């Protein structure tokens, strides 16, 4: 994790990791995918498959993202909505 994060930013990332996957709804704990590495409030909760999976993952071929018609910002929207619930 980025050492320059404030306490509030680190706390936010920890809260996001407890959420279900923002793409496929698999229960947490999830990985925290950073849309922008330096910005803690751009983290998205993703399961291992939707994050790093070679077929489905954002860092792979993004198959499930295409099926669900999602991008990073729509996944961020789901993450933030769930945090506010
Ligand atoms: Zn997922
Ligand atoms: Zn990532």
Q: What is the pLDDT along the chain (85 residues), one digit of tens a residue?
A: 556 899 999 999 999 999 999 999 999 999 999 999 999 999 999 999 999 999 999 999 999 999 999 999 999 999 999 999 9
Which ligand is nearest to the Cα of residue 21, counting in written order? 1
pTM of the model: 0.93
Q: Which DSSP string do the residues of the chain spell out, in sequence order?
A: --TT--HHHHHHHHHHHTSPPTTT---S--EEEESSTT-GGGEEEE-HHHHH-TTTSTTTT-HHHHHTT--HHHHHHHHHHHHH-
C-alpha 35 – ligand 1 centre gap (Å): 16
Check residue 3 and give its pLDDT. Answer: 66
C-alpha 84 – ligand 2 centre gap (Å): 22
Check residue 4 and give its pLDDT. Answer: 87
C-alpha 37 – ligand 1 centre gap (Å): 20
């Amino acid at each position: 994790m980025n050492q320059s994060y404030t306490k509030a930013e680190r706390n936010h990332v920890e809260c996001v990791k407890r959420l279900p996957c923002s793409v496929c709804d698999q229960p947490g704990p999830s990985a925290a995918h950073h849309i922008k590495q330096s910005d803690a409030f751009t983290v998205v909760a993703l399961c291992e498959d939707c994050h790093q999976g070679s077929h489905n993952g954002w860092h792979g071929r993004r198959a499930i993202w295409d099926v669900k018609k999602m991008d990073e910002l729509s996944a961020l929207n789901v993450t933030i909505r769930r945090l506010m619930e």
